[in-house]
Amino acid sequence: MEPLLVSACLRGVPCRFDGRAKGSAAVAEAIGGRRTVAFCPEVSGGLPTPRRPAEIVGGDGHDVLDGRARVVDDTGRDVTAEFVEGAHRALEAARRAGCTEALLMTRSPSCGRGTVHDGTFTGALREGDGVTAALLERHGITVRPAPRG
């Protein structure tokens, strides 16, 4: 079985913006017996834990990669460079380990797949992918959102 790249927070690493982890029985079931490569793009990109919440403003992760949108925290600080750097490091880790698939944290500006917060810091969501999810998909890695619950 090929290894699976997994958001580190889903593997019990307390690296989310709020300093917590986010694993669950549903995530463990989705992983099955596969070897995992736990990775946090935000920490790898240079952001601390805990950190200010961040959202993508002006689009989604694809737009960030194309220079049409940016990632900002809730104080207005631009953290786009850190998110892009972390995405590239996640891609390197996936390639190094031979991962062709990733299981990533939902709604995250890095790892979100299919749905992300809309950039208003109101809890509203929009269709789209996080920066890491977008970059992985552009390089042929299948990205699945982690099951909720």
Indicate the average pLDDT of the chain: 97
Which residues form the domain of 65?
Answer: 4-145
* Nearest by Cα to 60 from 80, 85, 89, 82: 80
pLDDT 10s digits, 74-130: 999 999 999 999 999 999 999 999 999 999 999 999 999 999 999 999 999 999 999
The per-residue pLDDT for 51 is 98
Number of structural domains the chain divides into: 1
The per-residue pLDDT for 23 is 87
pLDDT 10s digits, 29-86: 999 999 999 999 999 999 999 999 999 999 999 999 999 999 999 999 999 999 999 9
Dihedrals phi, psi of 39, to nearest 5 degrees: -150, 135
Q: How confident is the model at residue 149 (pLDDT cuts 50, 70, 90)?
A: low
Residue type, 134: A
- Encoded tokens for 139: 């390089």
CA atoms within 13 A on the CB side of 47: 31
